[in-house]
Structure formats: C-alpha cells, structure tokens
Chains A and B, each alone.
Chain A
Amino acid sequence: MNNKLTYTEPELVSLIAQRDQAAFSYFYDNYATAINGIIGKLVTDVTLREDILQEAFVKIWNNFHQYDTSKGRLFTWVANLARNLTIDTLRSKGYKKQQKISSDENSVISQEDKRQSVEQHDSIGLRKTVNTLKPDQRIIIDLAYFNGYTQDEIAKEMGIPLGTVKTRMRSAILQLRQKMETEN
C-alpha cells in the first residue's frame, strides 16, 4: 500500500463503527483495489464491476454493525461480502455456476493479462508468492475464494475426492503463509 498505516485494525473497526468517514475513506484507499480484484474474478465488464464495488462499500458502511471482530479479520468479512454480492448480482442477471466453471479453469491465464495493468501497485511481492503455487492449487483456492464454491462443489466439479480438495487447499494456504513469513 502507498499509504503509511495510520490506523491499527481495531482502531479502524472502532472508528468505522462510530461512523467516522475519514476512517472509512482510509479503509477504502487501502482495500478498494483488492475488493475490486475479487469482483473482477467474476465480472470483466468495468462498469458493472465498479457498480458492484460501489454497492459493496455502501453495504459495508450500512451493515457495519454486522461485523463481529470475534469471527475474524475485517478483510475476511469484507471479501466474503463483496464476493457474495457479486454472485448475487450475477445470479439476478442469469449467471449460472455451471457456465462459469470452464472459464474459471483458465483463470490462471486470464489473471496473467490483468496483472500487466496493476504493475504499478506494490503487491508485486505478494504476486510472486502467489505465483509459486501450482496451478491445481490455485484453481481450488480461486474456485472457493473468488467463485464461492464449497469444498463439496469443487470436488464434484473437478472430479476429485473431497479429501484431496481439503488437503490441496490447506497445503496451498500453508505455502502462502510460509512464503509471507520468510519475506517479512
């Protein structure tokens, strides 16, 4: 992030809960591109994507009382909210999970193209970390995290046992964590 961190997460959460727009502005500056990236996994149309992004942030602001710090990090809540909003929006427009799967399997390649446009962003290090994941690990994480597939659905779609989905997902995330730790 370009901004120096001026709030800790508990401070940020507490201020947003008190309807502090400056804190929410800071929150937007730090997370909008990441949220936009999540929405962008399912929506390539810029106008629709950014409409959903706007709706997501308005929803975060209006429903902030629903966020429970004991249940996890702020970003976790926000990311899931944005993804679910995206899926709901697409479903209301006739989107079917089934139709999306084939293109999702190519999502690793399509992400390569998108990466070119965000080169100025200082998440290059993170991207390098993510790129160390094997494609079959990334597909599983992408299907779950960005497309909202349950582990069961991933197993059925990919024709692999549920246990394999769980192990691959877990090992992929562990790998990310280890890389992140060595880099910090």
Chain B
Amino acid sequence: MEKEEIISSGLLESYVMGLCSHEEAVQVEWWAKAYPEVKEELDAIGSAMEAYAMAEALPVQSDVKSKIFDAFAKESAQVEATPVVTMPIENNSKNTADTTTVVRPILSKWKIMAAASVALLIGSAVFNYVTYNKLQETTAKLTETEQTLLAKNEALAEMDRNVEVVQDKNSVPVSLAGLPAAPTAAAKIFWMKNTGDVYIDASNLPAAPQGMEYQLWGIVDGKPVNAGMITTASGSTFKVEKMKSFGTAKIDAFAVTLETKGGKPQPEGEMYVLGKM
C-alpha cells in the first residue's frame, strides 16, 4: 500500500482508538516505522482525539486523587516495613536529593526481591519439612508392610513344610489319645518310616503350667527314650514340630508327659497322651 492510501484507509483512526485487530496493529506499527508521514499522521490523530476527550472533560467530585496516592503510600509503607537489606542501600542514597527518586525504585525492587526470597525460602523449608515427614511416614508404613509380608511368607513356608510332612509318602501318622490326666487332650505324630524322623502336632495339648513343658518319648523295647521338648504353644493353629530322629530303631509307641522346664532323662511327670504305632 502507498503511504497516501494508508493514511486515508481509516485504519490509522481505528489504531489510535485501540479498535483494530492485533494483525492490523502490527501492520500499522510497521508502517509507522517505515514512513515518517504515517507516524506524523498517527500523532496528529492522537492529538485530535486528546482534544476531543478534553472537550468532554468531567470534573471529579470525590477525592479520587488522595485515594490513589493513599494507596501508593500504603504500598510503599508495606515495602519499607520489610526488614530486609534496608540499611546498606539507603546509605548509598545519601549523595543528593535528586538521586532519591532514582534510587527508590531500585531500593524497593531490592526489598521486594529480598522479601520474596525470604518468602520463597520459608515456603521451600515448609514444603521440605512436610515432604520429609510424609516420606518418613511412608517409609515406616513400607517397613511395616514388608515385615507383615515377611511374616506371612514365613507362615506360608511353614505351612508348606507342614503339608509336605503330612503328605510325604513315607509319613506314618500316629494318633495320641488323651489319658485320665487330660481326657480331651490329643496329639498327632508323623513318623517317617524311611528316615525315622519324628514330627508332632501338639496344638491340641492343654496349656502347660508356668515352669513346665511337655516332653515327647518314644517307647523302644518297652523303655521310654527322650524325643525332645515340645515348644508348640497350646491352642495355636495346626503346626508340625520336628522332634528327635529315631533312625532305624523300632518304636512301639509315643507318649507325652508334663515335666519341669528343660525336661528329664526319664519321665517323672504325669502322662497326658499316648499312642501306639
């Protein structure tokens, strides 16, 4: 477009009144840079519109001015009140009265930046603290879960071993029935005929009194042979506890007696259950 066309296009008026599109504004600004006549025209339109607005001026009735400047004063008072890096910079502004106007915005900026830094630092510290606490909490929970899982795995492995013992093709079950001392008591032996290993499920024996323990005996050639102390707690779920192995010895029967803690070489206490092979 020729500059005369540009000037008479009506677009410059639109631009001065801030009513053209962004693309048009970019175009006008480019023309203004390229053609001094366009720039002059824009200024002339601007002056005319300024005069037009002046002609329509309305007196201000309330004290708008002091409200505006009060707001500024409050704003700068807030900035002044920020207790950060005030002294060193203010000392620099001692030179002349003229510099104060120049120094003030820099001073305020510094203060605002310093205040912002402190705020950011505090914010960051709070965030870190909260995050750290959360992490601690999560770690504790995770450890707890891991322990539970380990215990469960252990129990499961134990259960597997128990089942293996019971299901082993060489496993010979022997039921031990309650005797007059404890008629409802019961226990079960799993004897491995190939190895002579002995396992007992003692979970159905009554609780042993304080300081006492159950001891298992194998009756070999009519004589009781120590098969070890039973550690399974009373009332626990099905559990197979490995006892002493009898090897190739021929066992006639199994019996459980209640003995003082640690057991005896020969049975002394009362017999609770007995089962013959």
CB distance from B47 to the nearest CB of A (A): 7
CB distance from B202 to the nearest CB of A (A): 83
Q: Is the CB of B55 within 8 A of A123?
A: yes
Q: Does B58 have its Cβ within 8 Å of any Cβ on chain A?
A: yes
| Proximity string of chain A (22-46) to chain B, C-beta cutoff 8 Å, 1 when within and 0 when not | 0001001100111111111100001
Q: Does A92 have its Cβ within 8 Å of any Cβ on chain B?
A: no
- A57 and B45 in contact (CB under 8 A), knowing A38-B53, A126-B54? no
Q: Is the CB of A84 within 8 A of B64?
A: no
Q: Does B149 have its Cβ within 8 Å of any Cβ on chain A?
A: no
Q: Which residues of B contact A75 (CB under 8 A)?
A: 46, 49-50, 53
Most buried by B among A18, A36, A76, A166: A76
Q: Is the CB of B72 within 8 A of A61?
A: yes
CB distance from B147 to the nearest CB of A (A): 59
Q: Is the CB of A118 within 8 A of B54?
A: no
Q: Does A151 have its Cβ within 8 Å of any Cβ on chain B?
A: yes
- A176 and B62 in contact (CB under 8 A), knowing A18-B101, A170-B8? no
Number of interface residues of B (CB under 8 A): 46
Q: Is the CB of A73 within 8 A of B50?
A: yes
Q: Does A67 have its Cβ within 8 Å of any Cβ on chain B?
A: no
Q: List 11 A-B contacts (CB under 8 A).
A: A21-B69, A25-B69, A36-B58, A38-B56, A39-B58, A73-B43, A73-B47, A84-B18, A130-B55, A151-B19, A177-B45
A contacts, CB < 8 Å to B: 15, 18-21, 25, 28-29, 32-41, 46-47, 49-50, 53-54, 57-58, 61, 70-73, 75-76, 79-80, 83-84, 111, 114, 117-118, 120-121, 123, 126-127, 129-130, 141, 144-145, 148-151, 165-167, 169-170, 173, 176-177, 180
